[in-house]
Structure 1
């Protein structure tokens, strides 16, 4: 089976797009970083190292220190597909991240995005 192209794409090549999308809507880079850290368990230093090293998405999620168990609470449609229906685990993680950045850009409170009470 051929891997989807996004799996071999570096996180650092998409990260500026996440930040730009958030900033266009009045949000901040730090909020994007917080979302990524919440989802993956990376520290800020580890995140920055992966961005600098041009780690691909597949590796980024495969070696994540602790994928947040509350990520299963992320529901909705991204790119025309319900995230909860995506079967491939790596693609689901990537789409979770996309969905969280979308929610940030739509103005949701960070507490809601991070599925905290």
Structure 2
């Protein structure tokens, strides 16, 4: 992955990407609430602070920089997303972005919440 691409992703508004996560999940019979649960689990935001980030049109870089705490079980998220093994991505911010993509993907594929949340 090249740095110009990464920089473009980081400047995207989280509020712009968020509806796509919901749409992807809902197409497969999952809910916005489940998407929010996954995002909050990963980032440590609660529903109120997550909504604030969306309303503020925070970019992805700031969204992750301001995240209260990355879940300690994040290392249990493994596998391939967009052709990259998430556990091997060297850029820490891109890795967080791909962790979220991977979790949303698992949600859309019908995995149970317990599995997605690495319980």
Residue 78 of structure 2 is matched in structure 1 by: 75
Q: How many residues align?
A: 116
- Alignment gaps of 5+ in structure 2: none
Q: Which region of structure 1 is more displaced relative to structure 2, 69-78 or 2-11? A: 2-11
For residues 107 and 99 of structure 2, what CA distance do their matches in structure 1 show?
A: 12
**Aligned match for 1:108, one of 88, 93, 111:** 111
User: Does 2:24 correspond to 1:18?
Assistant: no
Q: Distance in 1 between matches of 2:64 and 2:17?
A: 14
Structure 1 counterpart of 2:95: 92
Kindly report structure 1 stretches of 4+ aligned residues shifted beyond 6 Å.
Answer: none
Partner in structure 1 of residue 68 of structure 2: 65
User: Distance between the aligned counterparts of 1:111 and 1:57, measured in 2?
Assistant: 26
Report the equivalent of 1:32: 35
Instruction: Provide the TM-score with structure 2 as the length reference.
Output: 0.95
- Distance, in Å, in 1 between the alignment partners of 2:63 and 2:80 is 23
Report the TM-score when normalising by structure 1: 0.96
- 2:52: which partner in 1? 49
Once the two structures are TM-superposed, the CA of residue 65 in structure 1 deviates from its matched residue by 0.5
Q: CA deviation at 1:63?
A: 1.3
User: RMSD of the TM alignment (CA)?
Assistant: 0.9
